[in-house]
Structure 1
Amino acid sequence: MELRARDRVPELTGLLTVVALALVFGAVLGVIPRAALPVAPEWFLAAIPHINAVVSVLAIVVILAGWRAIRQGQVTRHRNAMLAALVLFATFLVLYLYRVSLEGPTDFPGPTAVEQFVYFPILGIHILLAIVCIPLLFYVLLLALTRSTGEIPTTNHPRVGRVAATLWLVSFALGTVVYLLLYVLY
């Protein structure tokens, strides 16, 4: 199995990306029937944006720690941090998609000018980066899982990983700004 996956990283990346994005767009566009989902208590649904804000800030810290670890040659620490960041990302995404599937997207409560010239551009860039990150994250993850530690520096993992981590950080940071605009400032 490992040898076949090892030889098919781009194909597996494409397959996982299509499945992940189908789930994301299915939830956001309301394709997933609400009746198919268990309904959590209202207090939990209301807490999801706040939980996700904490998850986002934690993810930023963990990604930066992973980046620092690999720069210091601490491969195990880097791997653990990046796997933790991936778990945080998955947690964020599951909670966000669950809430959106049940309640739809949150309307911006602030002034129209702020919505049009601040909120929507930030939200758009955040969403675009999050979508772009998905195949990059799958790619570097699959490279890491199908190669020995000694082989990874000779693959695209370091180069693509730097791009993925940078975009991931910016996406999480902008997501935090979106949260602040929706739930703190307005």
Structure 2
Amino acid sequence: MEKELSGNKSYLRIIFIISLVIPLVVAFLIFFPAKLGAGSWVKVLPAVHAIINSLTVVTLIAALVSIKKGNIVAHRSFMFASLVLGVLFLVSYILYHSNVQSVKFGDMNHDGVVDEIELTKAGTSRVVYLVVLASHILLSILVVPFVLFAFYYALSNQIVRHRKIVKYAYPVWMYVSVTGVIVYFLIKPYYF
């Protein structure tokens, strides 16, 4: 399987396509929610997202500790768990945003508009939230191809390439997971 993966350019095309499609679908659903009628239960999904992100942080740390100890089997298991959590997060995130309008930080009365009074009450915490959110979103888009290439290189036994890309992908993935939890707790008071 390793030789099959290392010589197959179709895997690289798939990584590029996935890396383009994911942010386009998410952006479309945020700007044009489909309102698929999944019911009010989807309103619990932001808390589920925070749990998934927290578990991802744990599995990423466990993967790092495992590889530092030379336990490749455990490292692979934790990294696959991280990838599965990422896929679960993405599916849940798409489900949420295809049914619920995005919540705005500072929108105390839940009318979808942050007026002057609400802006004043939110104060600088809104700026902090927006900066953290912007970095979280931008890096979550950028990290997808790096993570997919890291998995591809590991599975195709291109370990030198795997190590090179992981130097960048791992800390960004960790940052995205941690800030995902932070973003949730910052905006949580504005959920209804």
**Is the TM value for this pair above 0.5?**
yes
Equivalent in the alignment of 1:86: 83
Pairs within 5 Å for 1:108-123: 108-109=105-106, 111-123=121-133
**1:157-185 Cα deviation digits (max 9, x unpaired):** 11211311110111111111111111159
Equivalenced residues, count = 176
Q: Is the 8 A contact 1:144 1:152 kept in 2?
A: yes
Select the residue among 159, 182, 189 that pairs with 1:153.
159
Task: Specify the code of the residue in structure 1 equivalent to 2:38.
Answer: A
Equivalent in the alignment of 1:179: 184
Structure 1 distance, partners of 2:179, 2:190, is 15
Structure 1 distance, partners of 2:3, 2:34, is 39
Query: 4+ runs of 1 displaced by more than 6 Å?
Result: none
**1:50-98 Cα deviation digits (max 9, x unpaired):** 1111111111000010111111111111111011111111111211221
Task: Specify the code of the residue in structure 2 equivalent to 1:178.
Answer: V
Q: For 1:104, what is the secondary structure of its paired residue?
A: coil
Select the residue among 23, 26, 29 that pairs with 1:27.
29
Structure 1 distance, partners of 2:134, 2:47, is 20
Structure 2 distance, partners of 1:98, 1:185, is 20
Q: For 2:98, what is the secondary structure of its paired residue?
A: helix
Identity rate, percent = 26
Task: Specify the code of the residue in structure 2 equivalent to 1:170.
Answer: Y
TM-score, normalised to structure 1's length? 0.83
Structure 2 distance, partners of 1:165, 1:41, is 36
Equivalent in the alignment of 1:165: 170
- Consecutive unaligned residues of structure 2, counting only runs of 5 or more, are 109-120
Q: Is the 8 A contact 2:30 2:101 kept in 1?
A: yes
Pairs within 5 Å for 1:19-168: 19-30=21-32, 33-34=34-35, 37=36, 39-42=37-40, 44-109=41-106, 111-145=121-155, 147=156, 151-154=157-160, 156-168=161-173
Structure 1 distance, partners of 2:34, 2:3, is 39
Q: Is the 8 A contact 2:59 2:81 kept in 1?
A: yes
Equivalent in the alignment of 1:6: 6
Q: CA RMSD in A?
A: 2.3
Structure 1 distance, partners of 2:97, 2:34, is 12
Structure 1 distance, partners of 2:53, 2:189, is 16
The structural deviation recorded for 1:16 is: 2.1
Q: Is the 8 A contact 2:62 2:78 kept in 1?
A: yes
The structural deviation recorded for 1:12 is: 3.4
Question: Which of the two has higher C-alpha Rg?
Answer: 2
Structure 2 distance, partners of 1:184, 1:158, is 41
Structure 1 distance, partners of 2:102, 2:190, is 18
- Say if 1:120 and 1:14 are closer, same or farther in 2 by CA, change over 3 A: same
TM-score, normalised to structure 2's length? 0.81
Structure 2 distance, partners of 1:27, 1:98, is 9
Structure 1 distance, partners of 2:164, 2:2, is 23
Task: Specify the code of the residue in structure 2 equivalent to 1:175.
Answer: G
